[in-house]
Chains A and B, each alone.
Chain A
Amino acid sequence: MFDFVSFIPRAVMQGMPLLYGSTGETLTEKSGNLNLGIPGTMYVGAISGVIGAFFYENAVPADVALNPAIAIAVTLLSSLLGSLLMGLIYSFLTVSLRANQNVTGLALTTFGVGLGDFFGGSLIKLTGSDMAYMSLNRTSNIFRTTLPFASSTGWFGKIFLSYGFLAYLGVVVALVAAYVLRHTRVGLHLRAVGENPNTADAAGINVNRYKYVATCVGSMIAGLGGLYYVMDYANGIWSNGAFGDRGWLSIALVIFTIWRPNIGVFASILFGGLYILHMYIPTGMNLAIKEIYKMAPYVVTIIVLVVTSMRSKRENQPPAHLGLSYFREER
């Protein structure tokens, strides 16, 4: 019998980094910026949070309890600051300097992963540990504090209440992003900028400002995905490279959700489930087949991409100006 009660919480926890990443990337793409630097940005979001938490933990003696409010504030703020910086680099190069978005994004990912591994490695060294990882379990425990009754309400508690606050925040951020995009003036203007910057410009919308803000806010949201991964999912344990390809998977998720963060809430859990499905499908001795199951999220994404382009329903297409820089040519 398939064990849903243990599967669903794991799928949710696996999905949360993807949800943050895809919500951030969706906002960015809606402004017409295809930010392939998101994997690097999420990585930086994680390491910045780790750095903040590290210094706070070291400042508080081991036998004194951390102040939860300060621990959360320090970690969150340093994480947001780190990913904001990444967003600014991307925006400056692609919006102000009109650089090629693909090249900039890839360079940003190289840079971000390098930054993460460098500081990660340095911190591990600072702890004097022989291991290839470091543990921030005091901060992580705060991040992983679940809702009350999580353990006393049986399967209900397990499936709905057993997560740290960042998981709930991720859902809220996605729903808010969906609402903003659909029902507010800012969202309307943002969509116009990504679809047709010329028209938006003619209507008096500041195209560059929208691109900057959307990209930076998007980067910060994506960075939180990295933070969730290390502080909650990985129990505060940082080791270089453990974050894996979740950044790219987030970009895939954007396509899968056809640029709708509210769909992302379910899709990310589905992706998370697909990601760990191989652990739940009995394969006996055949370990290799598990690797084929891991393909599922990517194959499904391609199918969605192809089907949407074939059906050519206009709402489901990527923003028309995605990947192109905007320049109001002077006459």
Chain B
Amino acid sequence: MSKAKGEPFIRISSRSALPWYMAWLIRGLSVLAALIVGSVVTVLVTGENPLSLYVTMFEGSFSTARRTWLLVQNIAILLGVSLAVTPAFKMRFWNVGGEGQMLAGCLASAACMICLAGRLPNWLIIALMFLTSMLAGGIWGFVPAYFKAKWGTNETLFTLMMNYIATQLVAFFIIIWEVPKGAGQIGIINAQTEIGWLPVVGPSKYFLNILIVAVICVFMYFYLNYTKHGYEISVVGESERTARYVGIKVDRIVMRTMLLSGALCGLTGMLLVGGTDHTLTTSITASRGFTAVMVSWLAKFNPVWMILTSFLIVFLQRGANEVATTFGLNQSFSDILTGIILFFIIGSEFFIRYTVNVHIGRSRKEAAGRV
């Protein structure tokens, strides 16, 4: 038999299945590989011992109680946004507008704090902050979903643009509300009266935020896994044809889910304004809306794993910040390390989904297929 020319030497085929622990082993190994590459890069740039580097990273997060609280607070906010965008992703709706939906929530709650202070009782203002922030975020999420459902408008690009509209809207109100006039910033809102500040509960001023996000996390876990809505989202995400076959109205699910997604983003924004920062800036969200896309995706849209992935990202950022200050690098070094680690994890998915066979000569097993 003649030897076929043009036969590939590397053959890539879909894996039928990999036990979950193998999948996580691959992901773990990729993080390890990323840390090694990261330390090589760091050593090349700084000449420091990589081990002391990682010790420093650890210290950055855990050396003092305050740092640990700050770490957990940051995890909570990032986790909050990640949980919020997850239902949309599970539906295969690429919502990269978490940033804008969050900002809309920030804006709404700041508006309540500023405009209603002294006119309404504090508890009512806080209640309104919850309500309006969710409403504002929800609207920001619903608009792109509506156009997607009705006309198939590309949601990635639409939600991306909505981010910048939100930013400009916030910039507009910052100037309206600036203190003092001409300062170009708002400063701490109600610094004296603390109206609209979420009450300090438990051991830290961050505790309430953490608690609320924990509740959202539990809620999202049950919502996605045990409710009719969650089930519909899964079916629509897996196969729109199956969804129609069992009579699910795909358009309605898309709009409803994005309303929820946006509302939760808005709520997280409120936690940031009402709970910790007590101010409003255009960069208050610190790109968490984008980072959340990665956190959610890395956790395979599972709320429980998301605690781990958001921890990983925040830990890296804070650790790298610490490295930067200790070793006299600038803060942005953390973004480089985060980027490298993300690349490795993103790349590792390939080895979970596919097998690569390198072989010489012709293979007989051409159509083994799925069993």
Contact = CB atoms under 8 A, between A and B. Distances in A.
A122 B154 CA distance: 40
A106 B175 contact: no
Contacts of A107: 294, 339, 342-343, 346
A110 B342 contact: yes
Nearest to A102: B94
A34 to B, nearest CB: 7
B158 interface: yes
B107 interface: no
A309 interface: yes
Interface stretch (B237-245, B258-266, B327-335): B327-335
B336 A115 contact: yes
Q: Which has the most chain B C-beta neighbours within 10 Å: A89, A99, A289?
A: A99
B339 A99 contact: no
A207 B127 CA distance: 55
A309 B342 contact: no
Contact of A106 (B13, B294, B340): B294
B33 to A, nearest CB: 14
Contacts of A110: 287, 290-291, 335, 338-339, 342
A99 B175 contact: no
Give the most central of A98, A107, A288: most B CB within 10 Å: A107
Contact of A330 (B157, B168, B294, B366): B366
Contact of B157 (A93, A251, A312): A251
Contacts of B336: 111, 114-115, 118
B222 to A, nearest CB: 26
A71 interface: no
Q: Is chain A's interface secondary structure helix, strand, loop, or mixed overall?
A: helix
Contact of A117 (B161, B173, B290, B335): B335
Interface residues of A, number: 58
B176 A288 contact: yes
A132 to B, nearest CB: 11
Interface string A285-318: 0011101101100110110011001101000001
Given A295-B165, A318-B154, A329 B14 contact: yes
Interface of B: 11-14, 94, 96, 147, 151-154, 156-158, 160-165, 167-169, 171-176, 287, 290-291, 293-294, 297, 329-336, 338-340, 342-343, 346-347, 349-350, 353-354, 366-367
Given A102-B293, A106-B294, A310-B151, 10 more contacts: A98-B353, A99-B346, A103-B293, A103-B346, A104-B346, A249-B164, A295-B169, A309-B151, A318-B154, A318-B157
Nearest to B313: A110
Contact of B11 (A97, A248, A330): A330
A107 B335 CA distance: 9
B291 A100 contact: no
Q: Which 4 A-B pairs have the closest CB atoms?
A: A114-B335, A111-B339, A117-B332, A121-B330
Contacts of A288: 172-173, 175-176
A160 to B, nearest CB: 31
A104 B345 CA distance: 10
B96 to A, nearest CB: 6
B291 A117 contact: no
11 contacts: A36-B96, A97-B350, A102-B94, A103-B297, A110-B342, A111-B342, A117-B335, A121-B330, A301-B161, A309-B154, A330-B366
B13 A330 contact: yes
